[in-house]
Amino acid sequence: MASEITYAEVKFKNAPPAAAVEVPPETKKHEDHPQKYPPWLPWLISLLLLLVCIALALALLVVVPLFHSADQPTALQQNFVEWECITTVPQGKERVLRCCPKGWIRFQEKCYYLSDDEMSWDETVRNCTGMGSHLVVINSEAEQVFLTKELQKFPQGINFYIGLTAEAVGKWQWVDQTLLNEKAAFWRRGEPSNVPVEKCVAIHTSPEIHNWNDSRCESHHRICEVAAPSF
């Protein structure tokens, strides 16, 4: 056993020395002369990456929701299949296709539905809302004149609800929660009566522009209104 140990030691001591590892000339050259970059280059790269991240964030927060909302049909679009459209070019803007459901009438950028049946006030509100619209809110004399002319196509003596009611006597408010502007009110002579039982407002089929009347919230025709969607 001692001789085996001696042999092993002799064999180890007589082993040739390990060969030196030669480094390729190109590697030596690279190590001897490392490439240098401007000290401001990492800062520039970081700034560019930051700007790219900001741009992507803005795209996700602004652009994507806009496209998503454009793809979602409104309640009005879900309720109607047939449309009648006109092309308009607002001043300084691109061409726009404005549409109203078939059977509705258009004035400026709004669509109106004048019913040929009667409903109570509550049913009228639900009916307009169910179509994706609301009872008409009259904001100008031009709109009042337009509706008055359209009502002449119906028999005399018919009343049409508009979206004006009184939560309290004499406190008139539109269905969009805006208060009545008395300068843009078109009451008949002697109206409104301002009595507790007459809280709803209807338009008479009268050629006179001042044709509003407060009345009981019973069965009348209705005028629904909605902004004309663009396609």
Can you spell out the DSSP letters for 115-153? -SS-B-HHHHHHHHHHTT-EE----SHHHHHHHHHHHTT
Q: Is the pLDDT of residue 67 over 60?
A: no
Instruction: Identify whether 155 is preceded by a cis peptide bond (ω within 30 of 0).
Output: no
Q: What is the mean pLDDT of the chain?
A: 81
Nearest to 172 by CA among 138, 131, 148, 129: 138
Kindly state the average pLDDT of the residues 155-183: 94
Q: Is the pLDDT of residue 16 over 70?
A: no
How are beta strands 159-168 and 221-227 bridged, if at all? parallel
Q: Is the pLDDT of residue 7 over 60?
A: no
pLDDT at 44: 83
Beta carbons of 226 and 128 less than 8 angstroms apart: no
Residue 178 falls inside a structural domain: yes
Residue 171 falls inside a structural domain: yes
Residue 8 falls inside a structural domain: no
CA distance between the termini of the chain: 100
CATH number for the domain spanning 177: value is 3.10.100.10
Residue 131 falls inside a structural domain: yes
Segment (H or E) for 31: helix 25-32
Residue 129 falls inside a structural domain: yes
Task: Give CA–CA dist 185/41, Å, rounded.
Answer: 69
The beta strands (E) that lie in the chain are given as: 83-88, 96-101, 105-107, 110-114, 134-135, 159-168, 171-174, 200-204, 212-215, 221-227
Interval 131-168: pLDDT, tens: 999 999 999 999 999 999 999 999 988 999 999 999 89
> What single-letter DSSP state applies at residue 184?
G
Residue 53 falls inside a structural domain: no
Kindly state the average pLDDT of the residues 47-58: 81
73 contact partners, CB below 8 Å, separation of at least 6: none
Which of the four pLDDT bands, split at 50, 70 and 90, describes residue 218?
Answer: very high
Task: Give CA–CA dist 18/13, Å, rounded.
Answer: 12
Interval 188-208: pLDDT, tens: 999 999 999 999 999 999 999
Task: Give CA–CA dist 52/179, Å, rounded.
Answer: 48
Residue 1 falls inside a structural domain: no
Task: Give CA–CA dist 205/20, Å, rounded.
Answer: 111
Residue 19 falls inside a structural domain: no
Structural domain that includes position 116: 111-226
Number of domains in the chain: 1
